[in-house]
């Protein structure tokens, strides 16, 4: 597929903000490989790089109205990417220690409050409904391979006879469907 050029970053952003899916897909197809390569080079982990890249484009959709055009769109996107990658480095590393009864790490006797459990179950139930009824069979297969079998995008593409870009685009659409259709999901995933 030949890539279309856009007259200016501002016009592209305006078209996306006006709801043009075609323009967003153009932006996505143009910048996804560069963002992914940057994340992979810094993180040196395919799964982490894929997650960061998806995060960048989810954030981009929310942040696009704040784009002022004072720098090239690519520079602005790489600013978001750099922040996402840096947050991965700042994440606290898990401290692993054997659990002994009565130790400070023994949490077996503590449960989250009932209202939090109920809300989490409601959110997960809604996610199941979206996966079952709103995703295409191909998207459900990709979801299974990526999130349940923990397969890298390249292996999924090979297994399904699809391009890596097609798999990435489907992952993006699935994540968007889940977050749009399930208020509270993002905050649940952060906890």
* Contact (Cβ atoms closer than 8 angstroms) between residue 142 and residue 160: yes
pTM beyond 0.75, yes or no: no
Q: Where does 114-186 sit in CATH, by number?
A: 1.10.10.10
Tokens of 133: 């009824």
Spatial CA neighbour of 127 closest among 63, 188, 36: 188
Q: Where does 9-90 sit in CATH, by number?
A: 1.10.1740.10
pLDDT tens column, 103-160:
554 455 566 677 777 788 888 888 888 888 888 889 888 988 888 788 888 989 998 8
For the chain, the domains span 9-90, 114-186
d(C-alpha 111, C-alpha 117), whole Å: 9
* Contact (Cβ atoms closer than 8 angstroms) between residue 178 and residue 185: yes
Tokens of 63: 């942040």
């Amino acid at each position: 597929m030949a890539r279309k050029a856009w007259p200016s970053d501002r016009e592209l952003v305006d078209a996306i903000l006006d709801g043009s899916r075609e323009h967003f897909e153009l932006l996505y197809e143009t910048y996804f490989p560069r963002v992914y390569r940057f994340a992979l080079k810094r993180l040196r982990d395919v799964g982490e790089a894929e997650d960061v890249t998806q995060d960048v484009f989810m954030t981009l959709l929310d942040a696009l109205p704040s784009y002022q055009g004072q720098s090239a769109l690519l520079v602005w996107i790489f600013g978001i990417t750099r922040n996402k990658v840096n947050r991965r480095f700042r994440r606290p590393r898990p401290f692993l220690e054997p659990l002994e009864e009565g130790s400070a790490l023994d949490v077996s006797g503590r449960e989250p409050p009932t209202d939090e459990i109920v809300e989490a179950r409601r959110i997960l139930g809604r996610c199941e409904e979206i996966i079952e009824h709103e995703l295409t069979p191909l998207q459900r297969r990709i979801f299974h391979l990526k999130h349940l079998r923990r397969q890298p995008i390249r292996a999924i593409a090979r297994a399904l006879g699809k391009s890596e870009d097609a798999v990435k685009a489907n992952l993006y659409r699935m994540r968007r469907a889940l977050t749009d259709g399930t208020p509270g999901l993002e905050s649940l995933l952060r906890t």
